[in-house]
């Protein structure tokens, strides 16, 4: 079954012939993860630079240096640079800001296509535990600095472009895209065709109760893999598409695993039974917490993960013989009331985050 690299290689229609769709959005969202080097100064301007210059000027080592799947990133850049559907686009207004004190990590870029077609892409989090913690926090808080920044960025992009306007992102980027589309000014919203969220966290009930949400919910187009965890945090709508994946558990968050059939995602009827159980249990549990309790939950949860000594879920799974006992030892030293309240939720999360571990009977020792 094809993936986004195959799509970029084989689908040759320009956007003027076939409008921008969900798969195109996932590709553009994923390109926003690339860290552009200082030499790519034109990408930080309103006029921008040709996307193909990333490939032509030998920036690949710097662009993919900190990714977890550098080969796939390189193949995607090459495919997009050569594709008649994408090769005419330019990267503009690239920004990357990190403010540890405000717990703000924000990056975005604007893609301009021939024919006055503009796509604003917000970067998601990386594959580290810290990145996943940010996704959890994003769904549990009504507003964070990156969301406010996303609104300002989208409104600015709209003010300096014309024609069709789209916005999207993967993971945290999807949440930012939806937030920006809902909260932007009316002038910007009138130009928006859609706001894409690819496995991005949902929103708190407080956010969804706003009048702006009701007015612009029709712009949202959400896609999630069939064992989604991050994309279903606080997801309280049924209007999303479920995509088949070649991976299992948390690794389905990787867009290279999403299956594509011709010009569209390969869809399945619903989330897996395990994912539905975890999502329902986690969301119901957290929904009954105060904001302070939510914060404590996330901090404690990721303290357990951090006790593994690893920085990514993939490395935790690769070294499960060492990492799981370390996490269990940490968890068992927590106060009894805390440990008891976490017992079933932690077990469910482990089964989603690392399904192979449950097959080895490791989760049972904590979940009871």
pLDDT (tens, 9 = 90+) of the chain, 368 residues, equals 799 999 999 999 999 899 999 999 999 999 998 888 888 999 999 999 999 888 777 777 777 665 567 788 888 988 999 999 998 999 999 999 876 555 567 899 999 999 999 999 999 876 667 667 776 776 667 677 889 999 999 999 999 999 999 999 999 999 999 999 999 999 999 999 999 999 998 887 778 888 889 999 999 999 999 988 777 776 766 689 999 999 987 788 899 999 999 899 999 988 877 677 667 766 776 667 777 777 777 777 777 777 777 776 666 766 767 776 777 777 777 777 666 666 666 666 666 555 554 434 444 444 44
Residue 62 in domain: yes
Within this chain, do residues 215 and 333 fall inside the same structural domain, yes or no?
no
Within this chain, do residues 197 and 265 fall inside the same structural domain, yes or no?
yes
Residue 242, φ and ψ in degrees, nearest 5: -105, 125
Q: Is 83 left (phi over 0), alpha (psi -120 to 50) or beta?
A: beta
What CATH number is attached to the domain comprising 211? Answer: 3.40.50
How large is the greatest C-alpha to C-alpha distance in the chain, in angstroms?
A: 62
Within this chain, do residues 12 and 120 fall inside the same structural domain, yes or no?
yes
Residue 284 in domain: no
Q: Which residues pair with 198 in a beta bridge?
A: 170, 223
Q: Which residues pair with 2 in a beta bridge?
A: 260
Residue 59 in domain: yes
Q: What sign does the dihedral 223-227-228-232 (CA atoms) show?
A: positive
Within this chain, do residues 298 and 166 fall inside the same structural domain, yes or no?
no
pLDDT in the model for residue 114: 93
CA 43/CA 95 separation, integer angstroms: 9
Domain count, the chain: 2
Range of 29's domain? 4-275
Within this chain, do residues 317 and 268 fall inside the same structural domain, yes or no?
no
pLDDT in the model for residue 111: 98
Within this chain, do residues 294 and 215 fall inside the same structural domain, yes or no?
no
Residue 252 in domain: yes
Within this chain, do residues 139 and 17 fall inside the same structural domain, yes or no?
yes
Residue 280 in domain: no
Q: Of 275, 297, 329, at which residue does a domain stop?
A: 275
Residue 281 in domain: no
Within this chain, do residues 271 and 296 fall inside the same structural domain, yes or no?
no
Residue 77 in domain: yes
Q: What's the gap between Cα 313 and its chain centre?
A: 16
Q: Of 275, 310, 328, at which residue does a domain stop?
A: 275
Q: How many C-beta atoms surround the C-beta of residue 341 within 10 A? A: 16
CA 295/CA 246 separation, integer angstroms: 33
Name the H helices within the chain.
Answer: 4-10, 22-31, 52-56, 60-63, 70-82, 129-140, 145-159, 172-183, 186-189, 205-208, 211-216, 273-287, 291-306, 313-318, 320-332, 336-353, 355-359, 364-367
Within this chain, do residues 248 and 362 fall inside the same structural domain, yes or no?
no
Within this chain, do residues 205 and 338 fall inside the same structural domain, yes or no?
no
pLDDT in the model for residue 256: 94
Within this chain, do residues 353 and 207 fall inside the same structural domain, yes or no?
no
Q: Of 275, 306, 326, at which residue does a domain stop?
A: 275
Indicate the Cα dihedral angle 224, 229, 235, 236, nearest 10°.
Answer: 100
Within this chain, do residues 230 and 318 fall inside the same structural domain, yes or no?
no
Residue 295 in domain: yes
């Amino acid at each position: 079954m094809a993936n986004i690299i195959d799509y970029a290689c084989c689908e040759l229609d320009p956007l003027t012939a076939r409008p921008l769709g969900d798969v195109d959005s996932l590709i553009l969202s994923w390109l926003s993860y690339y860290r552009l080097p200082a030499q790519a100064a034109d990408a930080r301007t309103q006029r921008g630079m040709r996307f193909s210059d990333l490939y032509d000027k030998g920036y690949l080592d710097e662009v993919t240096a900190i990714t977890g799947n550098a080969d796939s990133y390189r193949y995607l850049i090459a495919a997009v640079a050569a594709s008649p559907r994408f090769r005419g686009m330019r990267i503009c207004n690239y920004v990357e800001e990190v403010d540890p004190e405000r717990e703000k990590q924000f990056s975005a870029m604007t893609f301009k296509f021939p024919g006055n077609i503009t796509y604003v892409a917000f970067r998601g989090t990386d594959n580290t535990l810290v990145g996943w913690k940010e996704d959890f926090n994003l769904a549990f808080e009504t507003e964070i600095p990156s969301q406010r920044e996303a609104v300002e960025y989208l409104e600015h992009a709209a003010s300096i472009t014309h024609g069709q306007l789209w916005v999207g992102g993967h993971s945290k980027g999807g949440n930012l895209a939806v937030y920006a589309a809902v909260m932007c000014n009316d002038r910007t919203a009138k130009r928006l065709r859609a706001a894409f969220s690819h496995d991005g966290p949902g929103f708190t009930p407080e956010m969804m109760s706003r009048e702006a949400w009701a007015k612009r919910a029709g712009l949202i187009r959400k896609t999630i893999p069939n064992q989604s965890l991050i994309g279903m945090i606080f997801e309280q709508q049924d209007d999303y598409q479920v995509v088949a994946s070649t991976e299992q558990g948390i690794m389905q968050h990787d867009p290279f695993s999403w299956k594509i059939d011709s010009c569209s995602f390969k869809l399945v009827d619903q989330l897996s039974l395990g994912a539905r159980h975890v999502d329902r249990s986690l969301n119901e549990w957290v929904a009954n917490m105060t904001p302070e309790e939510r914060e404590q939950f996330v901090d404690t949860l990721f303290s357990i993960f951090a006790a593994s000594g690893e920085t990514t879920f993939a490395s935790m799974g690769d070294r499960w013989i060492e990492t799981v006992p370390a996490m269990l030892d940490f968890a068992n030293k927590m106060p009894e009331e805390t440990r008891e309240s976490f017992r079933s939720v932690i077990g469910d999360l482990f089964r989603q985050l690392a399904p192979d571990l449950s097959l080895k009977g490791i989760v049972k020792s904590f979940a009871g």
